[in-house]
Amino acid sequence: GAVVSQHPSRVICKSGTSVKIECRSLDFQATTMFWYRQFPKQSLMLMATSNEGSKATYEQGVEKDKFLINHASLTLSTLTVTSAHPEDSSFYICSAHERGYEQYFGPGTRLTVT
Amino acid sequence: QKEVEQNSGPLSVPEGAIASLNCTYSDRGSQSFFWYRQYSGKSPELIMFIYSNGDKEDGRFTAQLNKASQYVSLLIRDSQPSDSATYLCAVTGGSYIPTFGRGTSLIVHP
């Protein structure tokens, strides 16, 4: 199956700072990527759909000014958590689809804000 | 609103048994159905997808789809302790954005 990578896998930052997470499709081109957040023992929550060359589409309740998404190429999407606070601590996961409807997930980024 | 329902479990089965995981969905227009496995602290991993009514087998896994009943299931034969994880059902209805269930926790005990 298709391979999706994420970097970093873990990050600890201080409250008020910004953190950038990269998501790459390694062996295919992804016109659309997805960003999810998952709190412990809870289900995946879709945050936004990232479209190459255009603005991301955010789900209801997700602050677009706080979670900046850029999809500059067919293999790279980035999520920047701006002015992070402890409540933003979570597991952030990106995914992409190759040709069909099946999605392939990156390994995730665990963000801890102190 | 599109909904995907799964029993949260945990479903506990002995090693070597068949584990049966079930999922129902509300949108009759749903077209694609997926099962993901998620180990604790890891991201989901696609294990099966099915588009047509009936059964689809892949190794120890069988996905079953019944669109009339809006029901999709996953059978795991010869369950192993390494199969212990949360299994997520996901459904799409013509777009690439899936709706996920909350997942069923499976425990396979030796």
Asked whether the predicted pLDDT for residue A107 surpasses 80, the reply is yes
- How many beta-carbon pairs below 8 A join chains A and B? 48
- The nearest alpha carbon in chain A to B105 belongs to A41
DSSP letters spanning A7-51 = E-SEEEE-TT--EEEEEEESSS--SEEEEEEE-TTS--EEEEEEE
Asked if B97 and A104 come within 8 Å (Cβ–Cβ), the reply is: no
Q: Given this model, what pLDDT does residue A30 score? A: 87
Mutation target among B1, B96, B104, B105 for the A interface, most CBs of A within 10 A: B96
Quick count: other Cβ atoms within 10 Å of Cβ B67?
15
Listed residue (B73, B58, B51, B62) closest to B4, CA to CA:
B73
Q: Per residue in A11-44, pLDDT tens? A: 999 999 999 999 999 988 888 899 999 998 888 9
Q: In this predicted model, what pLDDT tens digit does every residue of A63-92 receive, in sequence order?
A: 999 999 998 888 999 999 999 999 999 999
Q: Distance between CA atoms of B14 and B84, rounded to whole angstroms? A: 11
The 8-class DSSP code of residue B44 comes to -
Mean of the pLDDT values across residues A88-108?
90
Q: What is the nearest CA distance from A45 to chain B, expressed in angstroms? A: 9
Residue B31 in contact with partner chain A when CB distance is under 8 A: yes
Q: B42 to chain A: which residues are within 8 Å by CB?
A: 107-108
**CA–CA separation, B41 vs B47, rounded Å?**
18
User: pLDDT under 70 in chain B at which residues?
Assistant: none
pLDDT for A69? 95
User: Contact B49/A102, CB-based, under 8 Å?
Assistant: yes
Question: Per the CB < 8 Å rule, is A105 touching B31?
Answer: no
What's the burial of B53, exposed, middle or buried (CB within 10 Å: 0-12/13-18/19+)?
Answer: exposed
| Contact yes or no for B71/B22 (Cβ under 8 A) | yes
Helix runs in B1-110, H state only? none
Residue A34 has what pLDDT? 95
pLDDT at A101: 75
At residue A1, the pLDDT reads 67
